A and B are shown apart, each in its own frame.
Chain A
Amino acid sequence: MSGASGWQVFWWVVLPYIALAIFVVGHVWRWRYDQFGWTSRSTQLQERKLLKWGSPLFHYGTFAAIGGHVIGVLIPERWTRAIGIPETAYRWFSAGAGTLAAVLVIGGVVVLAGRRLLVPRVRATTSPIDYVALILLLIVILTGIAPTIGVNLLGHGYDYRTTVAPWFRGLFAFSPDVRAIASAPLIYQVHATAAWMIWAVWPFSRLVHAWSAPVWYLWRPYVVYRARRASPPAEPGTSGRRWRKIGVPY
Chain B
Amino acid sequence: MRVMAQIAMVMNLDKCIGCHTCSVTCKQVWTNRPGTEYVYFNNVETKPGVGYPKRYEDQEQWQGGWTLDRKGRLALKAGGRVKKLATLFWNPHLPSIDDYGDPWTYDYQTLIDAPAGTPNPSAHAISALTGKDMPIRWGANWEDNLAGAPGGAEADPNLAGLQDAVRLAYEQAFMFYLPRICEHCLNPSCVASCPSGAMYKRAEDGIVLVDQDRCRGWRMCVSGCPYKKVYFNHRSGKAEKCTFCFPRIEAGQPTICSETCVGRLRYLGLLLYDADKVLAAAATPEPADLYQAQLGVFLDPDDPEVRAVATRQGIPADWLDAASRSPVYALIARHQVALPLHPEYRTLPMVWYIPPLSPVADVAGAYGDDADAVFAAIEALRIPAEYLANLFTAGDAGQVRRVLRVLAAIRTVMRAGQPVGHERGRPGRPVPAAGNRQVRRPVRDPAGPRRGRGAAAGPA
Contact = CB atoms under 8 A, between A and B. Distances in A.
B94 A44 contact: yes
Interface string A201-213: 0000010010010
A82 B127 CA distance: 62
A243 interface: yes
Interface residues of B, number: 50
Interface in A47-61: 47-48, 51-52, 55-56, 58-60
B279 to A, nearest CB: 9
A223 interface: yes
Report the contact-size class of chain A (Cβ under 8 Å from the partner).
Answer: 35 or more
A223 B191 contact: yes
Given A39-B217, A45-B232, A124-B131, A226 B196 contact: no
Contacts of B82: 218
B124 interface: no
A56 to B, nearest CB: 5
A247 B3 CA distance: 10
A228 B199 CA distance: 14
Contact of B218 (A56, A123, A214): A214
Interface in A32-80: 35-48, 51-52, 55-56, 58-60
A222 B237 contact: no
Given A35-B213, A228-B202, A220 B197 contact: yes
B215 interface: yes
Contacts of A38: 213, 216
Given A46-B234, A214-B196, A59 B89 contact: yes
Contacts, number: 132
B97 A121 contact: yes
Contacts of A215: 85
A246 interface: yes
A224 B216 contact: no
A241 to B, nearest CB: 13
Contacts of B97: 45-46, 121
A45 B192 contact: no
Contact of B275 (A35, A43, A206, A246): A246
B105 to A, nearest CB: 14
A83 to B, nearest CB: 32
A114 interface: no
B201 A39 contact: no
Interface in A108-124: 120-121, 123-124
Tell which of A41, A55, A215, A222 has the most Cβ of chain B within 10 Å. Answer: A222
Contact of B195 (A58, A59, A214): A214
A125 interface: yes
A226 B213 contact: no
Contacts of B219: 42, 44-45
A227 interface: yes
Interface of B: 2, 76, 81-82, 84-85, 88-92, 94-97, 127, 129-132, 187-188, 191-192, 194-197, 199-204, 212-219, 232, 234-238, 275-276
Interface of A: 35-48, 51-52, 55-56, 58-60, 120-121, 123-125, 206, 209, 212, 214-218, 220, 222-228, 242-243, 246-247
28 contacts: A35-B213, A36-B213, A36-B236, A36-B238, A37-B236, A39-B215, A40-B237, A42-B217, A45-B94, A58-B89, A59-B88, A120-B132, A121-B127, A121-B129, A124-B131, A209-B216, A212-B216, A214-B197, A215-B85, A217-B194, A218-B82, A222-B191, A224-B194, A224-B200, A226-B200, A226-B202, A246-B275, A247-B275
